[in-house]
Homo-oligomer: A and B are copies of this chain.
């Protein structure tokens, strides 16, 4: 018998490779590399890896206010006394919160939708935590809501829906600035972005 790429000499190895392959962006080759790497680790390290994965999935919680991932009922951002509670930034995902936090520029709170309105995927407004956002704006003295959703059709639909709901509450509604990225060449910037960056030009501030 010859062992093909898909048939290993060990079912245990085959299982490990198949499971690793289910991770995003991991092909059979990387999965095999991961599996064989496990053989070089002490068994306790491999057990720690397995436990961390299962524990994370089974014990994960979401903040009861902003829906950010959290180990506690209220996430560290929502419970921090140093954050500006008059400002809520609405984002699609947990990763978006992390990206904005990494800039260390933003000091307000968040509201994670966990998705966007997408009739094609059967996701309507009632499937997203929009009521809880409106509730927060109404009852927590929020002055401004920043919409930081994607510029896809679904993102814009969601932003528009939120805009219509929020404007009745008399809160200031803003969107993040779009334009040519710092360090980007005009030559390689898409036409829509470049066009908008000219329309939305700002007074020049010399450094």
The answer to whether B9 and A23 touch across the interface, beta carbons within 8 angstroms, is no
Which of B13, B33, B75 sits near A60, CB closer than 8 Å?
Answer: B13
The answer to whether A45 and B22 touch across the interface, beta carbons within 8 angstroms, is yes
Distance in angstroms between the alpha carbons of A83 and B9 in the assembled complex: 14
CB-CB under 8 A from A10, the residues of chain B are 60-61, 69-71
Indicate whether A73 reaches chain B with its CB closer than 8 angstroms. Answer: no
Indicate whether A169 reaches chain B with its CB closer than 8 angstroms. Answer: no
Q: Is the interface of A mostly helix, strand, loop or mixed?
A: helix
The answer to whether B75 and A9 touch across the interface, beta carbons within 8 angstroms, is yes
The answer to whether B41 and A57 touch across the interface, beta carbons within 8 angstroms, is yes
The answer to whether B1 and A32 touch across the interface, beta carbons within 8 angstroms, is no
The answer to whether B60 and A39 touch across the interface, beta carbons within 8 angstroms, is yes
Q: How many residues of A contact B (CB 8 A)?
A: 68
A143 CB → nearest B CB, Å: 21
The answer to whether B46 and A54 touch across the interface, beta carbons within 8 angstroms, is yes
Residues facing B in A3-55 (CB within 8 A) are 3-5, 8-13, 15-16, 18-20, 22-26, 30, 32-39, 41, 43, 45-55
A32 CB → nearest B CB, Å: 7
Q: Which of A94-102, A121-129, A178-186, A198-206 contacts B (4 or more CB under 8 A)?
A: A94-102
Distance in angstroms between the alpha carbons of A1 and B68 in the assembled complex: 15
A10 CB → nearest B CB, Å: 5
Which of B1, B35, B55, B77 sits near A9, CB closer than 8 Å?
Answer: B77
The answer to whether A13 and B56 touch across the interface, beta carbons within 8 angstroms, is yes
Instruction: Pick from A26, A37, A46, A54 the residue with the most CB of B within 10 Å.
Output: A54
Indicate whether A118 reaches chain B with its CB closer than 8 angstroms. Answer: no
Indicate whether A59 reaches chain B with its CB closer than 8 angstroms. Answer: yes
Q: 7 shortest A-B CB distances, which residue pairs? A: A16-B56, A46-B57, A50-B50, A50-B54, A19-B52, A3-B101, A19-B49
